[in-house]
Amino acid sequence: MSNKIIRSICYFTDTPSTEIVNNVNNIADKLIKKNYAIQTKRICSSNREQIKILDSQYGDEFTLSIGSIPKEDIINHFDQLFENKNIHFNLDLSNKTIDLSEVQILFDLIKKKPEKTFNFTYVFNNLPSTPFFPSATYEKNGFSIGLQPTDLSLNCLSLEEWFSSMEKVWQEIIELFKNEEDFLGIDSSIAPLVSDEGSFIGFIKRLGLNFSQTATTDFFLKITRFIKNNNPKPIGLCGLMFPCLEDVELAKEYEKGNFTIERNIFLSLHSGLGVDTYPIGIDEKPERVLEILKLVQGLSDKYKKPLSARFVSDGKSKVGQKTDFKNQYLYDVILRPL
């Protein structure tokens, strides 16, 4: 299998339709011919009704997003919003006074549809057109591409070798779509995934480094500087992701107590994109989540940095118990308090 993996091809459109589905499939075919493996195909639009129709027709093949939804809409149409195959969305808390009503949305979700906590996030100073869900938000028509660049680190013995592999792939994609007017660009975010090859923390270990030690070096800053400054056509977030349960080695660090919510926020502040697939027990206090959301909001505002907060639950596990997500993308862990 190729280690050139496209995590997401996402088409942003104000008129989601079967024609857009065909467009995404054509984009995927071009990449497959260049020896890329396609992990997900996605469509994002603020047209909720049409997205729901596409979800009923193509939800097994496509991941869909309706972008940012106001709090009142989520509360008033809660059941409708979460009755779907594969729709994601976010709640934008930028420039908002956050209270327990926003937090209650998460806890209602944990109680009623815990599997959908994977499909929902809070965002702060979010950037449009990222192909990564559930942060994706529509701004203009066109498509963007997000990679799983951790796989490109396989057999690399240094950061520089990995950087060189990423640059070659970026240039290849730019060359492939240079004449496509609707090509918005590449979100060069580092997006890990469960497998050994896809684990970012696994790469750190292969370099002979210690995750806890690297957290207080400029290691992660070097990576974010590179992916922001060297990407030939940047779009979206272009940051370093620390998805707690999507990277198996990071999940193991969490279980050891080496990836606390404090360290997650610290790393997100200087190099990352926020709190992502972070496990939460059903007995966690809403007030604690409120404190975290207010902190993330304040840091996002202070440093003019896009951040998000996605907590996930299996709907039954308490702090001290092992999760059972039944989700191929989430590694099960013994829950720790926030």
Q: At a CB cut-off of 8 Å and minimum separation 6, what does 54 contact?
A: 16, 17, 18, 21, 43, 62, 64
Is 90 exceeded by the pLDDT of residue 52? Answer: yes
Q: How far apart are CA 266 and CA 272, in angstroms?
A: 9
The reply to whether 255 falls in a domain is yes
The reply to whether 324 falls in a domain is no
The CA-atom distances, in angstroms, between 28 and each of 42, 180, 188, 275 are: 11, 14, 18, 30
Structure tokens belonging to residue 110: 């944990």
Q: How far apart are CA 221 and CA 215, in angstroms?
A: 10
Q: How far apart are CA 126 and CA 68, in angstroms?
A: 10
Q: How far apart are CA 178 and CA 172, in angstroms?
A: 10
Is 70 exceeded by the pLDDT of residue 2? Answer: no
pLDDT digits (tens, 9 = 90+) for 153-194: 988 899 999 999 999 999 999 999 999 999 999 999 999 887
**Nearest one of 82, 149, 89, 150 to 121, comparing CA atoms:** 89
Q: What is the CATH number of the domain that holds 300?
A: 3.20.70.20
Q: How far apart are CA 229 and CA 4, in angstroms?
A: 21
The reply to whether 166 falls in a domain is yes
The reply to whether 17 falls in a domain is yes
What 3-state DSSP class applies to 330? coil
User: Does the model's pTM come out above 0.85?
Assistant: yes
Q: How many folded domains does the chain comprise?
A: 1
Please give the mean pLDDT across all residues of the chain.
94
Question: Residue 67 belongs to what domain range?
Answer: 5-312
The reply to whether 329 falls in a domain is no
Is 90 exceeded by the pLDDT of residue 85? Answer: no
The reply to whether 320 falls in a domain is no
- Half-sphere exposure of 55 toward its Cβ, with a 13 Å CA cutoff? 21
The reply to whether 82 falls in a domain is yes
The residue behind tokens 């940012």 is 68
